[in-house]
Amino acid sequence: MDVAIVILFLLCWLLASHYLKTKGQSLFLRNAIGILFGFCTVFLWFMLSSMLELHQVTDATPDSNPAPLESPVASEEVKDDGVLTAQQYWFAYQANEVAADLKFRSKPVTIKGVVRGVRKGAFGGMYVDLATADEHKDVSTSFETELEAYVAKLSKGDQVILTCIGNGLSFGVPTLRNCTSE
């Protein structure tokens, strides 16, 4: 597929350059417009191919009314201690972002989960990703710099219980901020 993209880009660039050469345009202008035309064509090609893939997936679905997802929040009721699992928090946001924001955003949330990753952000913030049942879906928690020693001791697979402030979704990922350890 990468080769096809390069060939498509080069073909568009050459066609645009050749057309403008016949019109007497300068070499710089021909190349600039050719490159722009090539990028636009590749972009349109990506857009059309993604729309076709979406259409094929929709057409391939045999049942027009798929079974609803079973809510982990409903199946695993929150314990009396008020501690949510990372899976429950993640599902609440996937099921209904507006309702989850009303329940959790800017409010204290105690959450337990298994550490999937520990990382630093672009501006020095510290983040611990808590695992859910899907290996590609995490709950992201952030910590203040005072807790650097605590975060530095964490490793993948550690079980944690954190008290945080709900922070809504960020790029589709449920987040919590100002976390402290229990």
Nearest 10 degrees: CA dihedral of 82, 88, 93, 96?
A: -90
User: What is d(CA 39, CA 49) in angstroms, rounded to the nearest whole number?
Assistant: 15
Question: Per residue in 48-83, pLDDT tens?
Answer: 555 544 333 334 344 444 344 444 444 444 455 689
Q: Supply the pLDDT for residue 123.
A: 81
- Give yes or no: residues 97 and 7 share one domain: no
**Integer Rg of the chain from CA:** 25
Domain assignment present for 66: no
When pLDDT is cut at 50, 70 and 90, the band that residue 21 belongs to is confident
Pairwise CA distance, residues 38 & 27, whole Å: 16
For residue 13, being part of any structural domain is answered with yes
Q: Where are the alpha helices (DSSP H) in the chain?
A: 2-22, 27-60, 72-75, 86-95, 97-104, 148-153
| Pairwise CA distance, residues 65 & 6, whole Å | 41
Query: Is residue 85 domain-shared with residue 164, that is, in the same domain?
Result: yes
Q: Note the pTM of the prediction, 2 decimals.
A: 0.58
Specify whether 106 is located in the same domain as 31.
no
Rounded Cα distance between 182 and 112, Å, is 10
Are 44 and 85 members of one domain? no
Whether residue 98 sits in one domain with residue 168 = yes
CATH number of the domain to which 87 belongs: 2.40.50.140
Give the count of domains, the chain: 2
pLDDT of 89 strictly over 80: yes
Over residues 167-177, the mean pLDDT reads 93
Residues 91 and 148 in one domain: yes
Check whether residue 30 and residue 114 sit in a common domain: no
Measure the CA–CA gap between 83 and 161, rounded to whole angstroms. Answer: 8
Arithmetic mean of pLDDT, 135-144? 93
Average pLDDT, the chain: 79
Indicate whether 152 and 96 sit together in one domain.
yes
Residues 102 and 160 both lie in one domain:
yes
| Distance from C-alpha of 133 to C-alpha of 119, rounded to nearest angstrom | 20
Domain span holding position 38:
2-60
| pLDDT tier at 100, thresholds 50, 70, 90 | very high
> Would you state the pLDDT for residue 62?
42
Asked if 48 and 83 sit in the same domain, the reply is no
| Residue 123 domain-assigned (yes or no) | yes
